[in-house]
Amino acid sequence: MAAEENKFRPDWRLRCIFGVIGLLNFAAALDATSISVAIPRISEDLGGTAVEAFWSGTSFLVCSCVFQPVFTLCSEIFGSARMLFGAVVAFTLGAILAAVSQHFNLLLVGRCIQGIGGGGIIALTEVLIADLIPLHERGKWMSFRAVTWAFGTVLGPVVGGALADHAWRWIFWINLPFCGLGLILIPVVMRLHRDQSPLWIRLSSVDYLGCVLFVGSLSSFLVPLSWGGIMYAWDSWHTLVPLVLGAVGLVVFIIYESFVPRQPLIPTQIFRNSTTAINYLGCFLHGMVMWCVLYYLPLYYEACLAYSAVIAGAAMLPLTLTVAPLSAITGIVIAKTGRYRWAIWLGWALTTLGIGILYLLEAGTSIPKWIFIALVSGLGLGTLFTSMMLAVQASADVQFLSITATMAAFFRTLGQTVGVAIGGVVIQNRLGVEIPAHVAGLSGGRAENLASDAATLVRYIQSLAEGSNERTGLEQAYASSVGIVWLTMCGIAGVGFISGLFVKKYPMTQAFKPRQGIRSETSQLS
Three-state secondary structure of 314-339: HHCHHHHHHHHHHHHHHHHHHHHHCC
- Residue 516 is predicted with a pLDDT of 59
Domain final position from 240, 262, 284 = 262
113 compared with 308, residue with greater pLDDT: 113
Q: CA 122, CA 281: separation in Å to the nearest integer?
A: 18
Other CB atoms closer than 10 Å to residue 476's CB: what's the count?
A: 19
Torsions phi, psi for 152 (to 5 deg)? -65, -40
Query: Would you say residue 517 has pLDDT above 70?
Result: no
- Burial bucket for residue 436 (CB in 10 Å: 0-12, 13-18, 19+): buried
Task: State the pLDDT confidence band at 524, using cuts at 50, 70 and 90.
Answer: very low
Does some domain include residue 523?
no
Does some domain include residue 292?
yes
Q: Are 238 and 291 found together in one domain? A: no
Q: Are 231 and 367 found together in one domain? A: no
Does some domain include residue 372?
yes
Average pLDDT on 302-324 reads 83
499 compared with 522, residue with greater pLDDT: 499
Average pLDDT on 190-209 reads 72
What 54-57 contacts at long range (C-beta under 8 Å, 24+ apart), as own/partner pairs, is: 54/226, 54/227, 54/230, 54/424, 54/453, 54/455, 55/108, 55/111, 55/226, 55/227, 56/104, 56/107, 56/108, 56/111, 57/111, 57/295, 57/420
* CB-side neighbour CA atoms (13 Å) of 58: 27
| pLDDT tens for each residue of 374-413 | 999 989 998 998 899 889 888 888 778 878 888 888 898 8
Domain final position from 219, 243, 262 = 262
Q: Are 54 and 139 found together in one domain? A: yes
Q: Are 327 and 237 found together in one domain? A: no
DSSP letter at 505 equals P
Does some domain include residue 512?
no
Task: State the pLDDT confidence band at 6, using cuts at 50, 70 and 90.
Answer: very low
Q: Are 280 and 319 found together in one domain? A: yes
Does some domain include residue 521?
no
Query: Would you say residue 125 has pLDDT above 50?
Result: yes
Query: Where is average pLDDT lowest: 174-188, 189-203, 361-375?
Result: 189-203
Q: Are 253 and 269 found together in one domain? A: no
Query: Where is average pLDDT lowest: 50-59, 97-106, 155-164, 201-210?
Result: 50-59
For residues 435 and 451, the answer to whether their CB atoms sit within 8 Å is yes
Domain containing 136 — which CATH number? Answer: 1.20.1250.20
Domain limits for position 218: 207-262
Determine if residue 342 is left, alpha or beta; phi over 0 gives left, psi from -120 to 50 gives alpha, anything else beta.
Answer: alpha
Does some domain include residue 247?
yes
Q: Are 375 and 417 found together in one domain? A: yes
Q: CA 136, CA 338: separation in Å to the nearest integer?
A: 7
Q: Are 240 and 341 found together in one domain? A: no
Q: Are 313 and 460 found together in one domain? A: yes
- How many domains would you assign to the chain? 2
Torsions phi, psi for 192 (to 5 deg)? -115, 150
Torsions phi, psi for 228 (to 5 deg)? -60, 125
Question: How high does pLDDT run on average in the chain?
Answer: 83
For residues 98 and 110, the answer to whether their CB atoms sit within 8 Å is yes
Angle at 295 (CA atoms; ends 144, 223), nearest 5 degrees: 105
Q: CA 119, CA 409: separation in Å to the nearest integer?
A: 9
Does some domain include residue 200?
no
- Residue 3 is predicted with a pLDDT of 44
Q: CA 52, CA 55: separation in Å to the nearest integer?
A: 5
Does some domain include residue 201?
no
Task: State the pLDDT confidence band at 4, using cuts at 50, 70 and 90.
Answer: very low
Query: Where is average pLDDT lowest: 160-169, 217-226, 343-352, 396-405?
Result: 160-169
Determine if residue 506 is left, alpha or beta; phi over 0 gives left, psi from -120 to 50 gives alpha, anything else beta.
Answer: beta
Q: Are 465 and 325 found together in one domain? A: yes
Q: Are 99 and 246 found together in one domain? A: no
Q: Are 295 and 254 found together in one domain? A: no
CA distances for 382 relative to 79, 335, 400, 404, angstroms: 31, 16, 27, 22
Of 69, 67, 24, the closest CA to residue 406 belongs to 69
For residues 87 and 125, the answer to whether their CB atoms sit within 8 Å is no
